[in-house]
Amino acid sequence: MMQNVHLAPETDEDDLYSGYNDYNPTYDTEELENDTAFQQAVRTSHGRRPPITAKIPNTAATRPIATGYGSKTSLTSSLGRPMTGAIQDGVTRPMTAVRAAGFTKAALRGSAFDPLGQSRGPAPPLEAKNEDSPEEKIRQLEKKVNELVEESCIANSCGDLKLALEKAKDAGRKERVLVRQREQVTTPENINLDLTYSVLFNLASQYSANEMYAEALNTYQVIVKNKMFSNAGRLKVNMGNIYLKQRNYSKAIKFYRMALDQIPSVHKEMRIKIMQNIGVTFIKTGQYSDAINSFEHIMSMAPNLKVGFNLILSYFAVGDREKMKKAFQKLIAVPLEIDEDDKYISPSDDPHTNLVIEAIKNDHLRQMERERKAMAEKYIMTAAKLIAPVIETSFAIGYDWCVEVVKASQYVELANDLEINKAITYLRQKDFNQAVETLKMFEKKDSRVKSAAATNLSFLYYLENEFTQANSYADLAVNSDRYNPSALTNKGNTVFANGDYEKAAEFYKEALRNDSSCTEALYNIGLTYKKLNRLDEALDCFLKLHAILRNSAQVLYQIANVYEIMEDPNQSIEWLMQLISVVPTDSRALSKLGELYDNEGDKSQAFQYYYESYRYFPSNIEVIEWLGAYYIDTQFCEKAIKYFERAALIQPTQVKWQLMVASCYRRSGNYQKALDTYKEIHRKFPENVECLRFLVRLCTDIGLKEVQEYATKLKRLEKMKEIREQRIKSGRESSGSSRSKREGSAGSDSGQNSSSSSKGERLSAKLRSLPGTNEPYESSSNKEIDASYVDPLGPQTERPKTAAKKRIDEDDFADEELGDDLLPE
């Protein structure tokens, strides 16, 4: 291998310039591909070793390489190139960085191969921290303060405001201790101002969250007045917010403006928000012109929906029609900055693309976009409903202008909703014909709008008891949109009105399958099951509905009514008690409770609830009747007089109430007042036999001379009564002989019906059968008055709720106005 190496010997002094033209094949790079030894070295780890560099200078000057066996030999490369430091031809060249890791002279002395130095044993232990040192104590205390601030913020985010305030106070106390310790150890310049700022700011925020506004303002003042805190001036916005909550509007505006002056113009978004707060504060103070200036400036710089809506409110307050129109157009032009719905429709059948679209179709960003769009639609709809009646000579023209503006904007789909709101406005004005005409315009629109309009038309015709028209429009609504729960509910209502309860239940069930939150359908199913006498299923429906609508008076009453039908008065009373906790002034619910306690024999509780019912609604004849009977039963006839006088005022043509007043005077011993009352009754009802009988008796007992006059009138009336009865009897006999046998049997049936109906009027019959001449006055006991109760909802209770009717019906617990929530969105 050494035959290709040519070195000039040291003893060659003859030719100093010999060998310069000799060619060294080591530098022949063209033949490297054919050099077998070189290629083998490249393929092995020998060829991939890093180059050897000298780390310690002058340590390998004239030293040959030593092997593991202690021999000193010269090595050559695979190409015959001399190794650094090798001895060739008796000449030793200087070595340059040939010391390999682990190869030292220690190998010659028999030491083991230990390149990692493991024979030296384990490393010495780390120096222990001195926990008693002041620096370590300060670090631990600072760490504890940071932890308390974090815990306070977490508690606030979880809604535990009290715990958050306690943690913030604890952090403040420990931070003051930390400052004192740091001042003792180091110079004041080394105090951690950022930690102090964060502790004070968190404490002020927690005070504000707990509505401790005075403490919050004091804490903010500490931060703002400290010149060492940079950018503390912007906290005056928070102070302005606190003054706004305290309704100290002048100070709120002052601090907002101070914060605005201290925030540089580069923070554009922050400045706009502060100006928006200033505008809202001006609205609260009634300074609409100043509010308009603020909002106009914001809309010119960075328009947004809230500011646009507030600008419309301000112009509405000052009554500027033209400016309202311009502000509405600015509101419509505010960019939403959301993606179109077409982005979430797959353009191809690529499974990867479909998976991506499916993943982003309902992610948080998409939900935020939906919320922003819903908020924009809400502002636009509210603004249109607000300004439409005032921007033109009539609200119809105003609505038409708003619809045209909306159609030319990015909110085209809102135009139809505005038209429906126009129909609702007609309903509020009791102009049903115009409402119907407006809704009929949607019959040729797309299916969604057509279904909504047909649903509302069905609802209107149903309220007017035009069930044929209601049924036809309900069919149109269902055919336009089979998955519209309101349309299915209205269709079920029309079937319910025709008495086909089984079919009505099917429509209600289908509405619930399409929308499980359709409470109207669930309520109507309960009514249907009650009609079908499937009380357990009806009760189950109403209990489910109660879990959804916890404070619905209708649902609570229906549950109580079902328990009453199931003959469980205790449960019925319990649910009625819940009902009056929701509507404590409902007279019919109170009277129903009184009836149940009366049936249970608890007269004192019954009197309490009947009296409360009378106090809230003193015109209920049944309640007045029961209270009067109760006082007669307890021998307080003079107290019963005012109730029967109230009944006489309500029903002045009914003589029985005035007779009861006179009877109470008799029972209480005030015969002169009783006589005057009977004379007044005789003057109003001269043909009343009972009144004349009592007049005769009273005049006889007192010894008055008018007794003969009244006795003559009584005899004449009795004789006329006998003649009348004979004529009626003869007329019946003659007509009965001419009738057929079948008609006779029908007549007997009607007689039975009349007797059964008269049974329900047992009070009137017993009041007319007053005691005879020889009977004592006390024979007319309180048992002659039957304090019966009428279902507080009446037949209307069983009428199903329309799809749009979400509140108590007109004949239920309270009178309701027709509102926006009566028509589906």
Interval 397-456: pLDDT, tens? 888 898 888 888 888 878 888 888 888 888 777 787 888 887 777 766 666 777 888 888
Is residue 721 included in any domain, yes or no? yes
Is residue 61 included in any domain, yes or no? no
Q: What pLDDT is attached to residue 364?
A: 85
- Give CB contacts under 8 A, 24+ apart, made by 58-63: 59/99, 60/85, 60/95, 60/96, 60/97, 60/98, 60/99, 61/94, 61/95, 62/92, 62/94, 62/95, 63/95
Contact 277, 240 (CB under 8 A): yes
Question: Is pLDDT of 160 > 60?
Answer: yes
Number of CB atoms found within 10 A of residue 238's CB: 20
Q: What pLDDT is attached to residue 819?
A: 30
Q: How far is CA 245 from CA 76, 280, 482, in A?
A: 92, 12, 49
User: Please, which pLDDT band fits residue 787 given cuts at 50, 70 and 90?
Assistant: very low
| Interacting residues of 824 by C-beta distance below 8 A, sequence separation 6+ | 452, 455, 456, 486, 803, 804
Contact 344, 361 (CB under 8 A): yes
DSSP-assigned beta bridge partners for residue 301: none
pLDDT: which is higher, 321 or 783 = 321
Supply the range of the domain harboring residue 686: 648-727
Average pLDDT over every residue of 129-155: 85
**Residue carrying the six token digits 């021998």:** 635
Q: How far is CA 260 from CA 236, 253, 271, in A?
A: 9, 10, 6
Interval 639-689: pLDDT, tens? 888 899 899 888 888 888 988 888 888 888 888 888 888 888 888 888 888
User: Please, which pLDDT band fits residue 504 given cuts at 50, 70 and 90?
Assistant: very high
3-state secondary structure of 381: helix
Number of CB atoms found within 10 A of residue 448's CB: 14
Q: What pLDDT is attached to residue 786?
A: 31
> What domain count does the chain have?
1
Q: Which amino acid is at 767?
A: L
pTM of the model: 0.55
User: Please, which pLDDT band fits residue 617 given cuts at 50, 70 and 90?
Assistant: very high
Provide, rounded to the nearest whole percent, the portion of the chain with pLDDT above 90. 31
Average pLDDT over every residue of 247-260: 92
| Interacting residues of 469 by C-beta distance below 8 A, sequence separation 6+ | 457, 461
User: Please, which pLDDT band fits residue 22 given cuts at 50, 70 and 90?
Assistant: low
pLDDT: which is higher, 78 or 170 = 170
Contact 463, 496 (CB under 8 A): no
Q: Could you tell me which of 278, 288, 276, 285 has the C-alpha nearest to residue 315?
A: 288
Q: What pLDDT is attached to residue 327?
A: 92
Query: What does the mean pLDDT of the chain come to?
Result: 77
Run of H or E including 554: helix 553-565
Q: What pLDDT is attached to residue 254?
A: 93
Phi, psi for 72 (deg, rounded to 5): -115, 110
Average pLDDT over every residue of 697-707: 80
Provide the total of helices (H) and of strands (E) in the chain, helices listed first.
Answer: 34, 2
Judged by phi (left if over 0) then psi (alpha if -120 to 50, else beta), residue 567 lies in left
C-alpha to C-alpha distance for 95 and 125, rounded to whole angstroms: 41
Contact 663, 655 (CB under 8 A): no
**Residue carrying the six token digits 């390999």:** 100
C-alpha to C-alpha distance for 334 and 210, rounded to whole angstroms: 37
For the chain, the helix, strand and coil percentages under 3-state DSSP, each to the nearest 5: 70, 0, 30
Run of H or E including 573: helix 569-582
Q: What pLDDT is attached to residue 128?
A: 61
b/e sequence 277-294, b meaning 16+ C-beta within 10 Å:
bbbbbbbeeebbebbbbb
The conformation of residue 6, written as its DSSP 8-state character, comes to: -
Give me the CATH number covering residue 682.
1.25.40.10
User: Please, which pLDDT band fits residue 243 given cuts at 50, 70 and 90?
Assistant: very high
Q: Could you tell me which of 562, 566, 618, 561 has the C-alpha nearest to residue 595?
A: 561
Q: What pLDDT is attached to residue 145?
A: 92
Q: What pLDDT is attached to residue 576?
A: 93
Contact 258, 221 (CB under 8 A): no
**Residue carrying the six token digits 């507080």:** 792
Phi, psi for 810 (deg, rounded to 5): -65, -35
Contact 787, 622 (CB under 8 A): yes
DSSP-assigned beta bridge partners for residue 67: none
Is residue 693 included in any domain, yes or no? yes
The conformation of residue 362, written as its DSSP 8-state character, comes to: T
Contact 85, 93 (CB under 8 A): yes
Contact 251, 269 (CB under 8 A): no
Judged by phi (left if over 0) then psi (alpha if -120 to 50, else beta), residue 117 lies in left
The conformation of residue 550, written as its DSSP 8-state character, comes to: T
**Residue carrying the six token digits 């106390």:** 173
Provide, rounded to the nearest whole percent, the portion of the chain with pLDDT above 70. 72
User: Please, which pLDDT band fits residue 111 given cuts at 50, 70 and 90?
Assistant: low
C-alpha to C-alpha distance for 792 and 580, rounded to whole angstroms: 13
Is residue 722 included in any domain, yes or no? yes
Question: Is pLDDT of 87 > 50?
Answer: no
Average pLDDT over every residue of 745-755: 42
Structure tokens at 210: 């707990």
Average pLDDT over every residue of 524-542: 93
| Interacting residues of 484 by C-beta distance below 8 A, sequence separation 6+ | 451, 452, 455, 477, 478, 514
Is residue 765 included in any domain, yes or no? no
Q: Could you tell me which of 622, 551, 628 has the C-alpha nearest to residue 584?
A: 551
Q: Could you tell me which of 644, 719, 656, 648 has the C-alpha nearest to residue 690?
A: 656
Is residue 714 included in any domain, yes or no? yes
Structure tokens at 575: 């649910």
Is residue 662 included in any domain, yes or no? yes
Rg over CA atoms, the chain? 51
Is residue 813 included in any domain, yes or no? no
The conformation of residue 119, written as its DSSP 8-state character, comes to: G
Q: What pLDDT is attached to residue 67?
A: 41
